[in-house]
């Protein structure tokens, strides 16, 4: 179930190589990775889970509304992280020729579906 | 000089309300804010300067290339942060009906101009 949603997100975005559904405790629920990709999406997810928690706190401190998403660009790749609930988030890794806007869109659409499945 | 670049970025993006050029030490160099906006861009910049430093470290740890940009979405607004150098970054605050893609583009264009002016 989750694997299909992650696969749809990755295959639907030009340049996307991997996606993960992870708890804020850094424990992965499910992942999808394209063949021949070297990106370690579990380590990426774990590293950014800590930062995403800090972003949630910063948004609360600044009273700018609840944080929903964070994205990071580097020389080589983009990572989009979408908060699903207090416990879970989605992350997708995209090589830098990829379509960041579509990744954001697909994660936004996927988040409520996954949240529903998680709480069933 | 910096004020004009910040003003051009804010007025060029639908929904943008404020921009700041800030040191990673949290000390502002220059700001531009539209009239009647309540967002406290200095506090936003200070809060996210800490996170942006963590993002730089995470990108190094993950060997995903140098971090160049971070963006955060909340229920009410988007914040785009663009790294200029080891010492400085730009941030722009956009209300959520605004054009995030154009903000990212304008900060990417502004960053080398500001870096040049800072190092003159």
Average the pLDDT over B22-41 and give the result.
93
Is residue B67 a part of any domain in this protein? yes
Measured between CB atoms, which of A48, A69, A73 is closest to B68? A73
Tell me if B62 and A51 make a contact (CB, 8 A cut-off): no
Maximum distance among all Cα pairs of chain B, rounded to whole angstroms: 43
**Residue B1 pLDDT exceeds 80:** no
Is residue B9 a part of any domain in this protein? yes
Is residue B108 a part of any domain in this protein? yes
Measured between CB atoms, which of B55, B66, B74 is closest to A51? B55
Using CA atoms, how far apart are residues A51 and A62, in angstroms rounded to an integer? 16
Q: Which residue does chain A place closest to B58, by CA atoms?
A: A47
pLDDT at B32: 96
Confidence band (pLDDT; 50, 70, 90) for B93? very high
Tens of pLDDT, residues B61-91: 999 899 999 999 999 999 999 999 999 999 9
Is residue B84 a part of any domain in this protein? yes
Chain B residues in contact with A64 (beta carbon < 8 A): 39, 44, 74, 76-77, 79
Is residue B117 a part of any domain in this protein? no
Phi, psi values for residue A59, rounded to 5°: -60, -40
DSSP string across A72-112: EEESSEEEEEEE-SSSEEEEEEEETTS-HHHHHHHHHHHHH
Measured between CB atoms, which of B54, B68, B74 is closest to A54? B54
pLDDT at B80: 97
Q: Which residue does chain B place closest to A53, by CA atoms?
A: B51
B16 forms beta bridges with: B94
Tell me if A70 and B67 make a contact (CB, 8 A cut-off): no
CB pairs under 8 A between A and B: 81
Measured between CB atoms, which of A65, A76, A101 is closest to B76? A65
pLDDT at A55: 96
CATH at residue A63: 3.30.450.30
Chain B residues in contact with A74 (beta carbon < 8 A): 59, 64-68
pLDDT at B38: 86
Domain extent for A32: 2-118
Is residue B95 a part of any domain in this protein? yes
Tell me if B61 and A47 make a contact (CB, 8 A cut-off): yes
- Nearest Cα neighbor of A115 from A7, A45, A25, A21 is A21
- Nearest Cα neighbor of B51 from B36, B68, B70 is B70
Query: How many domains does chain A divide into?
Result: 1
Tens of pLDDT, residues A39-89: 899 999 999 999 999 999 999 999 989 999 999 999 999 999 999 999 999
Q: CA of B75 to nearest chain A CA: how many angstroms apart? A: 5
Question: Which stretch of DSSP H or E encloses residue B113?
Answer: helix B100-118
Is residue B118 a part of any domain in this protein? no
Tell me if A62 and B47 make a contact (CB, 8 A cut-off): yes
**Residue A1 pLDDT exceeds 80:** no
pLDDT at B119: 87
Using CA atoms, how far apart are residues B107 and A71, in angstroms rounded to an integer? 15
Q: Taking the model in full, what pTM does it have?
A: 0.94
Tokens of A4: 């299909």
Using CA atoms, how far apart are residues B79 and A34, in angstroms rounded to an integer? 31
Helix (DSSP H) and strand (DSSP E) numbers for chain A: 3, 5
Q: How many CA atoms lie within 13 A of A81 on its CB side?
A: 32
Is residue B55 a part of any domain in this protein? yes
């Amino acid at each position: 179930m989750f694997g299909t949603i992650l696969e749809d997100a990755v295959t639907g975005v030009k340049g996307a190589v991997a996606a993960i559904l992870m708890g804020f405790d850094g424990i992965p629920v499910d992942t999808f990775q394209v063949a021949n990709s070297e990106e370690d999406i579990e380590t990426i997810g774990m590293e950014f889970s800590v930062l995403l928690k800090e972003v949630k706190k910063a948004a609360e401190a600044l009273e700018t509304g609840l944080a929903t998403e964070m994205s990071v660009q580097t020389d080589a790749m983009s990572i989009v992280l979408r908060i699903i609930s207090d416990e879970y988030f989605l992350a997708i890794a995209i090589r830098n020729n990829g379509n960041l806007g579509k990744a954001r869109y697909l994660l936004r659409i996927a988040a409520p579906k996954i949240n529903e499945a998680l709480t069933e």
